[in-house]
Amino acid sequence: MARPREFDVEVALGRAMELFWSKGYESTSLDDLCEATRLSRSSFYATFGSKRSVFLKSIERYVGQRNPQIAAVLEEPVPICEGFAALARQLIDQIVSGPGRRGCFLGNCAAELSRSDHAGQARVRQGMESTTATFREALVRAKRRGELPRSTDAEALARFLTAGFQGLRLVGKVNPDRAVLSDIASTMLRCLEQRSETGRRGVKL
């Protein structure tokens, strides 16, 4: 009979993800991963197979955790402008306080992975498309509530906001100044205010 594992695989995967997020894929060694996950090499190989496989699983884990958090903010019973402003405030708070200065894990991976790494690039692209889908669903709901014109292209607007939030996190890595970040976010969110009757008074960050 197989011996039961004496550790939580999800906990070990979470530690691996945090390590990749802090150090990057190339700079993370197998010894680093074993130390972070508190696994021997044999247990690590038996559980995850390789550094490569645990990295790809880490991307999936990040998306699986982050997107429900984004969706929860955008599902609050407030106008769409306020929902995205709350998301921006949350992100800026994380950057200014320190934890958010690592940037977006997906964005970091996109910057580090080579063009020839098709599997890695595909995983990152799927993650960003998942975020875009979450944004799009919120925008479609806002259209149904009459907050946005029927002519609003929810898909294009969702892609724009995905790029905007990625850019905000990138700037925050090197310039965690609240005033600067708030100005960037306010300018970005004007695309919603200009379309929305409920947003024409402006939203505060």
Q: Which residue has the higher pLDDT, 193 or 9?
A: 9
For the chain, state the CA radius of gyration. 19
Residue 22 has pLDDT above 50, yes or no: yes
Residue 4 has pLDDT above 80, yes or no: no
Q: pTM for this structure?
A: 0.88
Query: Residue 158, SS3?
Result: helix
Q: Which residue has the higher pLDDT, 194 or 51?
A: 51
What are the chain's domains? 58-198 (1.10.357.10)
d(CA 144, CA 67): 22
HSE, side-chain direction, 13 A CA sphere, residue 144:
6
d(CA 198, CA 132): 23
Q: Given pLDDT bands bounded at 50, 70 and 90, which one contains residue 2?
A: very low
Model confidence pLDDT, tens digit, residues 137-192: 999 999 999 999 999 999 999 999 999 999 999 999 999 999 999 999 999 999 99
Model confidence pLDDT, tens digit, residues 38-61: 999 999 999 999 999 999 999 999
CB atoms within 10 A of CB 115: 6
DSSP string for residues in 64-91: HHHHHHHHHHHTSSS-HHHHHHHHHHHH
Query: Residue 187, SS3?
Result: helix
d(CA 151, CA 77): 23
Q: Report the pLDDT value the prediction gives residue 199, as an integer from 0 to 100.
A: 47
Q: Given pLDDT bands bounded at 50, 70 and 90, which one contains residue 204?
A: low
Segment 12-25 mean pLDDT: 96
HSE, side-chain direction, 13 A CA sphere, residue 143:
15
Q: Report the pLDDT value the prediction gives residue 99, as an integer from 0 to 100.
A: 86
